[in-house]
Amino acid sequence: MKEENKPYLRTTMKRKQSFNIKTLYIILSGIILCLILLHLYIYTKNITIKYEVANLKIKQKELKSKNRILKSNFASEKSLQKIEKTAKEELNMDYPKDVHYIILKGEEK
Q: Where are the domains of the chain?
A: 5-69
Torsion of CA 37, 43, 47, 49, to 10 degrees: 90
Cβ 57 vs Cβ 63: under 8 Å: no
pTM of model > 0.75:
no
Enter the DSSP assignment of 74: H
How high is the pLDDT of residue 100? 82
The band of 27, judged by pLDDT with boundaries at 50, 70 and 90, is very high
